[in-house]
Amino acid sequence: MQHTGLIEKIQKLPPETVVEVEHFVEFLTEKQKARKERDRLLLEYVEKHAGTDADFDAELEAASVEHLLKTQD
């Protein structure tokens, strides 16, 4: 993946705008890291609690069964 066009555009910006671009890129990088960490923690929780009482939601289960019964007609 080539980014020469993007790099050229950034190089043409005034220095204070380049600083803003850098801050935005840092923000996106941190956001991506946070998303990956959230996904990792969620997967860890799911793997630990799958099939346990913590995995069972009676109201959600009832709604799912009701939906399945209605859609089977």
Structural domain boundaries enclosing 63:
4-71
The pLDDT score that the predictor gives to residue 39 is 96
Q: Which residue has the tokens 């980014």?
A: 3
The pLDDT score that the predictor gives to residue 16 is 97
The structural domain count of the chain equals 1
Please name the amino acid found at residue 1.
M
Q: Compute the distance between CA of residue 51 and CA of residue 38 in angstroms, rounded to an integer.
A: 21
Does this model's pTM top 0.75?
Answer: no
Q: Which two tokens stand for residue 59?
A: 């109201």
The pLDDT score that the predictor gives to residue 1 is 66
Q: Which parts of the chain have pLDDT scores under 50?
A: none
